[in-house]
Amino acid sequence: MYIEKLENYINSIYVRPRRFGKSLFTSMISYYYDISKKANFEKLFKGLYIYDNPTKNKNNYYILNFNFSGMDVSIIKTEREIANSFNERVFTSCREFIEKYHLNINLEKKQDASMTLLNLLSKFKILGLKHKIYIIIDEYDHFINGMLEGNVSGSLKALGQGALLELFTK
């Protein structure tokens, strides 16, 4: 029943406690809203409240997933290496999104992640498709956790791409 409640009351969802099922939650949300999972709805959700009480947005979005787990932001990484890793992760996620939905978008690799994402979003908008994009970010706190382990200045500088942060928080 929480999908229904979240959909009715919240525009952005931030879930923080460590070891509290954030990845499972983002996976469930992805399957519920993804237009490409419509045929699997019964298999995935039968027996659950949301199966008997689906919302109007069920299987109604193109899902763009970002998962920042596994990125090395350790003290031995330079600012440039951290930024390159982040930029590559964003580019790869955008490319996988295009491939998953067979979209007619030629994605140019930009030097920073915010430009890559803006490039994708502007080209997606031009397609004039019926459905919107739902952006899901998992392990968004990975950078902060890495900084707490030692590389504060390098991580902050490398990830200080305000435009991307602003896009994700709007």
Helix (H, G, I), strand (E, B) or coil at 95: helix
Q: What is the rounded end-to-end Cα distance, in angstroms, of the chain?
A: 25
Whole-model pTM? 0.79
Whole-number pLDDT of residue 51:
96
pLDDT band at 5 (very low <50, low <70, confident <90, very high): confident
What's the CA gap between 128 and 60, in Å, rounded?
15
Q: What is the pLDDT of residue 23?
A: 84
The percent of residues above 70 in pLDDT, for the chain, comes to: 72
Residue 94 pLDDT: 97
CB 158 within 8 A of CB 80: yes
Span 35-61, pLDDT tens digits: 999 999 999 999 999 999 999 999 999
